[in-house]
Every structure is written in C-alpha cells, then in structure tokens.
Amino acid sequence: MRIVVTGAGIVSALGVGKESHVHALLNEQSGITAPCQLQTNNPLPVGEVKASNDELKSLLHIKQKEVISRTSLLGITAAREALEESAITDTAQMAFISGTTVGGMDYTESHWVKKEHFFRDIVQTHSAGSTTEQTAAHIGTFAYTATLSTACSSALNAIITACNMLRCGNVKQVLAGGAESLSLFHYNGFRSLQILSAEQCRPFSGDRQGLNLGEGAAYIILESEESALQRGAHIIAYISGYGNACDAYHQTASSDTGEGAYLAMKKALQMAGVTTTAVDYVNAHGTATQNNDSSEATALQRLFNNGETLLFSSTKGYTGHATSAAGSIELVISMLAMQHGFVPANIGWRLPIPNTPKPTLHTLNKTLNVVLCNSFGFGGNDSSILITKSPTNKELTEENDITIEELSCVEVLSDADWKQFISPMVGRRLTTQMRCLLIAAKQAMTQNRISQPDAVITGTDWGCIHNTTALLNQLTEEGEDSMSPTLFMQSTHNTPSSLIAIQTANHGYNATYSHGKDSFSQALLDARMQLKLGLIQSALVLGFEEPDETWQQLTTQANTPYQPLAKAVILQCHA
Amino acid sequence: MNNELLKQQIIEALNLEDLTPEDINDDAPLFGEGLGLDSIDALELFMLLDKQYGIKLQNKEEGKQVFRSVNTMAEYIEQHRTK
C-alpha cells in the first residue's frame, strides 16, 4: 500500500498556519525573539508562538475559564488547520496520535506552590496523554487516541505509529504529529545542561553556541492512497519510508559516529527503496549544540558518500527547537518546501565546521521530489521520515498472518540487589524504580535467551514523576538556577526505555507511550503491529510507574490513584 | 578551604555513595581516568559551586580548569567564594 498526506496544519514562532511559514521561509525571516510569554528571570532567545494563552483561547473560541494547557491550545490550532485542508468533517473513524513530553507542565509549574489547592486540575492536565485528550475534545470524536513521548523525536514517532496503524488496516485515516509549549521547567532544565545559546542559534556553524528553545505544533492527515483517491482528496505528499533507531549512547549526548541517526535514515531509505543519490534535500535535526551538529553531520557524511553534493539545512534558526513538536513542524516545513519548490535556508550559519559539508545558506529554488526529515531526542531516540512527491517503486507491505508469542512476564518489586545487575557508576543516578525496570528487562531477556530484541517499547502514564516532582520543588522553592542537570536529563518519559537500550547496547526501534492507563496496552499494540508488518521479529515491552509520595498523594486526592510498576514482557513471532 | 568538607560535598552532589573522602586523592584528576566522572557530573559541580559558595563559573572551559582535581577546586573556591 501507499500512504499519503492530505492535510497539514502548523503553528510555531513563524506564526499560525502554512501561509505564514512559507512567507517567512522564502524571506529568510526568523521567528526567534526575547521571551515575552515565558516569565523567566534569565531571558535567552526563544522561538515563541506570539500569542498569550488568552489570545489563543479567543482565536479558538474556547472559554477563558477552561483549564487547558498551552500545549493543547497549540495542538488544537494546528489540528484544525490540518482537518480543514483534508476536507474531512467526520473524525469518528479516525485515530489521533500525538507526541508531547512537556504536556501540561505549564499549568503544573505555575500552580505547584499551591498544589494542595489545585490538585484536581494539576492531575487532570499534567500528563502527556491528557494533552492529547484535551486537544481531541476540541476537534472531534476519534476511534482511537494515543500519545508518544520520546522527547524531541515524539512527533515523528507519532507519525511512524500512524503509518503502522494504516498498514495494519486498524483505521482508515489518522491525524498525527506533535505539540509542545515552552515551560520554565524544561527551559531551565536545558539551561542547567548549558546548551542554550545567548544569541540566535547557528546550526552547523563552526561558532555555534547552543540551541534556542521553541514551541508550537504541527499535525498531518495520513491515509492510504486508495482512500484519498476514492474521496477525491488532494495528495500533498507520500510517506514512502521511515526509520526509528536508538543511538544507545547517552541520555543527553549523541555518539561521535552518529550511529542512531545513521541507522534511522538508512531504514527510511531502505523502506522506500530509494538510493541516497535520489534524495534532493535533508531537513536536518540541527539543534546548533556542539554535540548534535557534529554527530549528525558525521551520520550524513557516512550515509551520503561524504555529503559533498548533499543539500541539507536545519530550520531551527527560524523556529527554535520546538522539542516534541519539532519533528512534525519540520516535516510540514519539508512538505511546504516540496510544494513550493525550494530548499529552506540554514539561517544563522557563519563559519564552516572543519571537514564537514556546508548546509544550504540561502533559500534555493529547486524542484524537490524526495526529502528526508530528521528528528532526534534525549536518550538517542532517533527517527527519520522520507517523503516523496510521487509514489516510489516500492510499496509498503501490509500485515502478515502470523502468530505472536507473549513470553514470560517479569515484574520486579525491589531494587535491593541492584548491584548484581547494574554498575555502581550507572546505578548511582537512577531512581529505585528505574533500577527495578532495568533488572526486570535484563531478567526477561536472560530467561528467554533474547539478548537483542528488535524493539524496546515502554508504556508509562506519569513517566519519571519522582525526578519531576523533585525538579518542581527546586524550581519553585530555590529558583530557576537550582535545577539539577542529573535529575533533568532523567525526567523525560523515555528515560527508562533509552536507559535499557544504552545499558544493553540496543540500536533497534525504541519508543515510549504515555497515555494514562492505556500506556502499556499502547506499547503492546505498537509491538504487535510491527511484528505483523515484519518490521521486527521480537520486542521487549515495558511497563513503568514510579512511586512518589507527593504525586501519589495528589492523584489519590483526585480519585485517580496509581500503582508503582516495573515489568518486562517479551513478544516474538512464533517460529 | 577544608578539602575533606569539599570531598563530602562532591560525594553527595554526585551520588558517589560507595566512596568516602579518603578514597579521593587531593591531586588526582576528577575526570577521565580518575574517578571516572562524566560531563553531567561537571554540570553538577557547577551547581555545587553556585549553591555552596556563591560562585558562578562562566562556561565549560573554565569548568574544565577548575575541576581538574580537589586541590584546584579548593584553591578556586578560596579565591572566589562569595559565601
């Protein structure tokens, strides 16, 4: 089958809607400014959406008194535009798959000091999954909703899952992408990692000083070519291939060889049956940190025959790094570039990195038929999607009739003997529950004699809530300069999944679902779909919920208590 | 500057719970082949200097110089502490 895109919506620092993006890109106008919406004592340039929450609510006709996260408001803005373009009016048979990490953090952090008073709203708006549900509530009824949370690659992974659902025939159409708003929590977390730039970011420049955080949302409508033709929809692009791989190197740094990035891009090209010479343009992740850009450039050079003739650019000089929304924002930018026939400029660039190819510095008029879009996240969660203007020769396979075996489930309740399984230098940083999960994963792999499952997929409702509440306390009690980098780098929902990949050197597919009580079943469904599609032969599926006194108290008060969990299951195709 | 106190603070900040101050040599490199610390530990040491001694280092390069060993850290703290 072939998968096509029939609608797209976008909001970022460049404005609301596709038109404002095309205009800014063609005129090389950056959206990066000093922060206006984000109330920080340490202002650094950001890619903010230039509208307050109240203004967004008016624009969207949402009641001012409704408690809703900025992430959802941005999501609704983009989703409505995508649906409108696709001319779909009834969403009841569709799936909605979204990616976010920050979720409702903006509400949580601004009410944390009085959490005992605002517990109900905090618990209801905080999670990644609730952001998706709140977005859905304002756009339509969906047959299925799910949330991916793989840090900065969340949106691309949501689109990858959407493609797998279409290939398995689970639904006819999917709305997929990601949304993320700025929060003091991750702004100061990134500050603690010392990777924010004091000036407009300079991706792939020899004098780059770090990234600018951004925010926004972008969603696309995906369906089979057959469905689009049947209803006479306009086809914007084909999703011809995609790849997800884990760098399995470090929670916040990419490897020197760019292994995860290289594998993700290679998988995408292979799936599409496209050679590297056919790629007209790569929209790189290009955050403008020292580490990302040198690692990604190495991966590009490895895959594209030293990259000398490759046209590539990072568009983060326009939008900033919109973290979980970056993937879909940049995929929509790639589609706009394809539709309008231009390579977006890599603005901000000043000096070459020695022995590294130069990105495209100015908007270049060019017909684009094949475009690759990269998005990488903390923990080395790297993904890449290949879009084409026309169908490629190779069709995407559909599901096979196979039997899936669910092997023994390992649940670990105590980390008392963690030193038998985990080295002291690794274990010292982990919470009790992270150690339990790592032990469970290792035991499940040993018991079933599977040392390298093809996929590591985690489901978690609250993610790394213990580190999160500790960071919220630091932020609200001691101020913006007090957030611990160790806690921050282990606060994203995908920390457990990437921890296991790093500790077992697993470069396979890696993803995390965070959608309330459905998180684990969504992780299982992902594994089952990929097994049926022949994309993987085995999968390690993990369930993770962390005990935390404060959070357990708040959720219990709100009548939604949860149980700590650290379990591992292995699924494989029956031989 | 009391080196033993500083070592205790390093152990706590970096969760090196298996170590005691006696395990850390005053002159031994903290990074690389020494204690085996990494870049995230360096960031925690930035926080430690700020929180305990009111010292804000400018950048990672300055950090590299200051964090060479317990002795270099102690010396820097002595000269630059604001609390």
Query: Using H for helix, E for strand and C for coil, what is the string for A150-186?
Result: CHHHHHHHHHHHHHHHHHCCCCCEEEEEEEECCCHHH
Per-residue CA distances from A379 to A245, A254, A300, B38 (Å): 11, 8, 20, 16
Q: Give the pLDDT confidence score for residue A228 in this predicted structure.
A: 98
Here the tokens at position A572 are 């494989």
Query: How far is A135 from A130, CA to CA, in rounded Å?
Result: 8
Nearby residues of A247 by Cβ (< 8 Å), 6 or more positions away: A254, A255, A258, A259, A260, A261, A376, A380, A381, A382, A507
Is a pLDDT exceeding 90 seen at residue B36? no
A341 touches A251 (CB < 8 A): no
- Count of domains in chain B? 1
A439 touches A412 (CB < 8 A): yes
- Give how far B16 is from chain A: nearest CA, Å: 7
In chain A, what residues touch B36 (CB-CB under 8 Å)? 425
Q: Do B46 and A194 touch (CB under 8 A)?
A: yes
E-strand stretches of A57-183: 95-99, 144-148, 173-180
Instruction: Name the CATH superfamily for A404-573.
Output: Thiolase/Chalcone synthase (3.40.47.10)
**Count of beta carbons in the 10 Å neighbourhood of residue A535:** 21
A423 touches A438 (CB < 8 A): no
Is a pLDDT exceeding 90 seen at residue B83? no
Is any Cβ of chain A less than 8 angstroms from the Cβ of B19? no
Which residue from B minimizes the CA distance to A484? Answer: B44
- Give how far A425 is from chain B: nearest CA, Å: 8
What sign results for the dihedral spanned by CA atoms B48, B53, B55, B60? Answer: negative
Of A414, A416, A438, A417, nearest in space to A426 by CA? A438
Per the prediction, chain B carries an average pLDDT of: 91
pLDDT < 50 positions in chain A: none
Query: How far is A281 from A237, CA to CA, in rounded Å?
Result: 15
Query: How far is B57 from B54, CA to CA, in rounded Å?
Result: 10
Average of pLDDT values for B36-52?
92
Q: Do B36 and A424 touch (CB under 8 A)?
A: no
Single pTM value for the model: 0.97
In chain B, what residues touch A482 (CB-CB under 8 Å)? 47, 51
Q: Do A481 and B46 touch (CB under 8 A)?
A: no
Task: Locate the domains of chain A by residue range.
Answer: 3-388, 404-573
**Rounded to 5 degrees, what are φ and ψ at B63?**
-55, -45
A572 touches A450 (CB < 8 A): yes
| Minimum-distance CB partner of B43 among A251, A481, A485 | A485
Q: Which residue has the tokens 């300055």?
A: B62
**Count of beta carbons in the 10 Å neighbourhood of residue A30:** 21
Q: What letter represents residue A325's amino acid?
A: A
Is any Cβ of chain B less than 8 angstroms from the Cβ of A484? yes
Q: Give the pLDDT confidence score for residue A531 in this predicted structure.
A: 97
Is a pLDDT exceeding 80 seen at residue B1? no
Average of pLDDT values for B54-62?
89
Here the tokens at position A551 are 């959070």
**What residues pair up with A569 in beta bridges, in sequence order?**
A409, A541
How far is residue A129 CA from its own chain's centroid? Answer: 13
A10 touches A218 (CB < 8 A): yes
- Burial of A237-260, coded b for 16+ CB within 10 Å and e otherwise, reads bbbbbbbbbbbbbbbbbbbeebbb
Domain range spanning residue B22? 3-80
CATH number, span A3-388: 3.40.47.10
**Count of beta carbons in the 10 Å neighbourhood of residue A402:** 12
- Give how far A571 is from chain B: nearest CA, Å: 35
E-strand stretches of A413-547: 455-459, 509-513, 538-545
Same fold across A3-388 and A404-573: yes
A549 touches A575 (CB < 8 A): no
Q: What is the CATH number of the domain that holds B37?
A: 1.10.1200.10
Is a pLDDT exceeding 80 seen at residue B34? no
What SS3 class is residue A382?
strand
Residue B59 — very low, low, confident or very high, per pLDDT cuts 50/70/90? Answer: confident
Q: Give the number of beta-carbon pairs within 8 Å between A and B.
A: 33
What does the pLDDT look like over A285-332, one tens digit per residue?
A: 999 999 999 999 999 999 999 999 999 999 999 999 999 999 999 999
Cα torsion through A527, A532, A535, A540, rounded to 10: 30
- Burial of A432-454, coded b for 16+ CB within 10 Å and e otherwise, reads bbbbbbbbbbbbbbeebebeebb
Helix (H) or strand (E) holding A553: helix A549-557
- Mutation to test the B interface, candidates A428, A482, A495, most B Cβ within 10 Å: A428
Length of chain B in residues, anyone? 83
Nearby residues of A553 by Cβ (< 8 Å), 6 or more positions away: none
Pairing of β A237-246 and β A3-12: antiparallel
What SS3 class is residue A438?
helix
Nearby residues of A56 by Cβ (< 8 Å), 6 or more positions away: A49, A62, A70, A73, A74, A77
In chain A, what residues touch B44 (CB-CB under 8 Å)? 484-486
- Mutation to test the B interface, candidates A191, A193, A194, most B Cβ within 10 Å: A194
A253 touches B40 (CB < 8 A): no
What SS3 class is residue A406?
strand
Here the tokens at position A294 are 């040198």
Q: Give the pLDDT confidence score for residue A575 in this predicted structure.
A: 63
| Minimum-distance CB partner of B18 among A424, A429, A484 | A424
**What residues pair up with A375 in beta bridges, in sequence order?**
A383
Q: Give the pLDDT confidence score for residue A105 in this predicted structure.
A: 98
If 0-12 CB within 10 Å is exposed, 13-18 middle and 19+ buried, where does residue A482 land?
A: middle
